[in-house]
Copies of this chain bind each other. A is one copy, B any other.
Amino acid sequence: MNASRTARERARAELTREIKEEARRQLAASGAQGLSLRAVSRELGMVSSALYRYFPSRDELLTALIVDAYDAVGERAEKADREAAGDGLRARWRAVCHALRDWAVEHPHEYALIYGSPVPGYAAPEDTIAPATRYPFVLIGIAQDAATAGHLAADAPAPAGRLAGQLQGISDAMAPDVPPAAMARLAAHWSQLTGMIGFELFGQFANTLDPADDFFAYSVDRMADDLGFPA
């Protein structure tokens, strides 16, 4: 009935946490492919079959790590946005964009887990899609604030047809004052962020834009220009 349940339950929560911790360590060391249940259990001093009491399959363990990663990046972005709240739209935009990249550079394998190619044969279950929206929602929130402040640019051709409906659907759910054209811009920028970070992390910029710090910062500012955020 109380917070500290039975000894068994506390032990179970503790071990579940330790398993995820060790799994994350292995993830960082050798990637999703190298995540081995046997190695995790070995490191924890237990036998491999015992792990299945905590995660019914390797995929379930992966799912747990994915959800944690989405939450981590979401929380980081929300914190960055909060801390830049008083400094204007452009500062918030910068902070949230750089929060994503910083987290990605710090945790490349976890980033790859959520924004890279999916582990083949693994289908992301429903539980992952709610945490996945947390980061983009911060971006959209800035645009929403910009819209109510009259600082959101709207000089692009209005999307038509099905696209207009899709964009309106997003607005209705998350940012009622952001018009479809701006929402399309936002989605494009969001794509571009992951594209740039992916290129940087996965080595596509080798010999050209690597190190990519300056390119990223420059591009983030151009996005802010594009959205009409005041300098």
Contact = CB atoms under 8 A, between A and B. Distances in A.
Interface of A: 30-34, 109, 112, 115-121, 124, 129, 132, 156-157, 159, 161-163, 166-167, 169-170, 184-185, 187-188, 190-196, 198-199, 201-204, 206-209, 211, 214-215, 218-219, 221-222, 225
B34 A120 contact: yes
28 contacts: A30-B121, A31-B120, A33-B120, A115-B198, A115-B202, A116-B116, A117-B202, A118-B203, A124-B203, A129-B206, A132-B204, A156-B222, A163-B214, A163-B215, A163-B218, A166-B208, A166-B214, A169-B208, A170-B209, A184-B219, A191-B195, A191-B198, A191-B199, A191-B219, A192-B192, A194-B195, A194-B198, A195-B196
A108 to B, nearest CB: 9
Given A129-B207, A132-B204, A188-B219, A31 B121 contact: yes
Contacts of A161: 214
Contacts of A32: 117, 120
- Interface on chain A toward B: helix, strand, loop, or mixed SS? helix
Given A33-B33, A163-B214, A199-B191, A170 B208 contact: yes
Nearest to A119: B33
In this complex, the member of A30, A185, A203, A211 whose beta carbon has the largest number of chain B beta carbons within 10 angstroms is: A203
Contacts of A185: 222
